[in-house]
Structure 1
Amino acid sequence: MVIGSLQAEPDTSISGLVPSGGLTGANYANIDGSIDLWRTLLNSGVITGGAIVGTLVFGVLAGYALAVLHFRGRGTLFAMVLLVQVIPFQLLTIPLYVLTVRTYGLADSYLGMVLPFLVNTTAVFVFRQFFLQLPPDLFSAARIDGASELRVLWSVALPLVRPALLTVVLLTFIGPWNEFLWPFLVTKEASMQPLAVALANYTANVAATTSNPYGAVLAGSVVLAAPAVGLFLVFQRHFTATNLSAGVKG
């Protein structure tokens, strides 16, 4: 994909991996000349960052409650969380649109684009499973020392589930970053459109008129995929299991 995006002329053969005519950045220059690349990157960063923060906050709190706290209806509530995961987001698009745009009046706003991604049931499930692996004696010892539940969560539980935090950040990043349909529905303001929407419009309306449409499409794909790949490369060495029983005597 990277080589194809740098080709001056489209060549899908094996020999095209080493283009005879050399490599060029013209396809990327066409993208930058057709859309406000840095503005769309900023919009995507705001939307994705808001989704990540909301997912981490609500996911950690809900996952901790479902794994550690004991209350009536906990099993039923967790079953509902699992049920939500089998419902495709596309089925919820119209009800969410009516609720967000017409009821809350959040059209053409970052909050309206972030709102549906603030709570992620997959993140709740991941955090619950990690918290269940922690020895209950760790929580009991902290409570005996007078720690509140939030203190137990912050000082005892979270440091031991760092792989889960990084996994959720990566999984959450991919969804809003690549999301096209929802931001397209919520806002028609070009200055607020994220990168995925801008690249989709570029591919549909502009790429075909360039000297190398094939390379233009691949260049757009590289621009969209590069941040997710980079994030994974940065975090991959941290995706390791933690010795969760290290703090328990015996």
Structure 2
Amino acid sequence: MVRKIKKIGFYALLLLAALSFLYPFYWMILASLTPEQNIGTLGIVPQGITFEHYTGMIEKIPIWSALFNSVFVATLSTFGVIVFGSMTGYALAKMRFKGRNLLFYTIIFTMTLPFQITLIPNYILMVNFHWVDTLAALVVPSLNSAFAILLFRQAFMTIPDDLIHAAKVDGCGDLRIIFQILWPNIIPSIITVGILTFMTSWNDVLWPLIVIREEGLMTMPQLVTLFAVGGRSEAQLGVKLASAVLLALPIIIAYLFLQKYFIQSMASSGIKS
């Protein structure tokens, strides 16, 4: 009986914690569908449903072009990180060369450096390459990730060397081994890297604000930020919340469908040297 009471109490606490995390998202979605005059008194129950905030937002800013730009940039960045990160991780896990461990620990060290340290050098590179106000300035600098390299290395370390030796005996090269033989064995790690990279690219605001000035090339986070703080929303809270909902929706949907692989990978990826 005591064990059952403890179990009920434990699940009650988990439920309370889940509701505390979910309620802000619920309120944001509900408020974006509520008439402006009712948002201040909004609780749990809807007080009228309207889509005027969404139509007003679409009329004020080019949200669909920004959505396309964000999807394009985030998709290319995610694909690049998965491909190049897995290649680098394979080299660090399965190839023997001088300075391999030093290179690995150097990559780990770069994870401790804040993004702001490389901000100015990266911007100077974009200016020299004439990539300012182009989507290349958003895609190219994000085509690799130290975290992705680390995660792929740890995933490849769990795969027996005999599998790679057998593939080489059959005449497979390193690229074919990575993409055709090893990738099917590390699907959770690939999905984890994909989710995290897509989220990072999708939510990035600072770098696009620096290198993109043309409205037609802006990403959704950049455009929504300028829309919310730049006065074009005309201090309408409902319109701001509608833009925030559209910004968060793709990430929420992707995580809901892929959370099983994400949790599986994060639970099974240990650090091996």
The TM-score with structure 2 as length reference comes to 0.81
Distance 1:193 1:208, change over 3 A: closer
Give the AA of the match of 1:75: N
Distance 1:27 1:206, change over 3 A: farther
Corresponding residue SS for 1:218: helix
Distance 1:12 1:124 in 2: 47
The alignment status of 1:97 with 2:97, answered yes or no, reads no
The 5-angstrom pairing of residues 71-110 of structure 1 reads 71-101=97-127, 103-110=128-135
What is the CA-CA distance between 1:215 and the residue it aligns to?
2.2
Residue in structure 1 matched with residue 218 of structure 2 by the alignment: 193
The 5-angstrom pairing of residues 37-186 of structure 1 reads 37-101=63-127, 103-186=128-211
Distance 1:122 1:143 in 2: 28
**Identity value in percent:** 33
Residue in structure 2 matched with residue 223 of structure 1 by the alignment: 246
Give the AA of the match of 1:173: F
Per-residue deviation, residues 150-187 of structure 1 (Å, max 9, x unmatched): 22212221110011111111000111111111112112
Distance 1:128 1:202 in 2: 41
Distance 1:145 1:76 in 2: 32
The 5-angstrom pairing of residues 15-54 of structure 1 reads 16-20=43-47, 22-54=48-80
Give the AA of the match of 2:247: L
| Higher RCO by CA contacts (8 Å cutoff, separation 6 or greater) | 1
What is the CA-CA distance between 1:91 and the residue it aligns to?
2.0
Distance 1:17 1:23 in 2: 13
Q: Tell me the matched-pair count.
A: 237
Where in structure 1 do 4 or more consecutive aligned residues deviate above 6 Å? none
Give the AA of the match of 2:67: L
Gaps spanning 5+ residues in structure 1: where? 245-250
Residue in structure 2 matched with residue 5 of structure 1 by the alignment: 32
Distance 1:140 1:228 in 2: 39
Distance 1:176 1:104 in 2: 21
Distance 1:62 1:10, change over 3 A: farther
Gaps spanning 5+ residues in structure 2: where? 1-27, 269-273
Distance 1:127 1:12, change over 3 A: farther
Per-residue deviation, residues 170-205 of structure 1 (Å, max 9, x unmatched): 000111111111112112111111111111111013
Corresponding residue SS for 2:172: coil
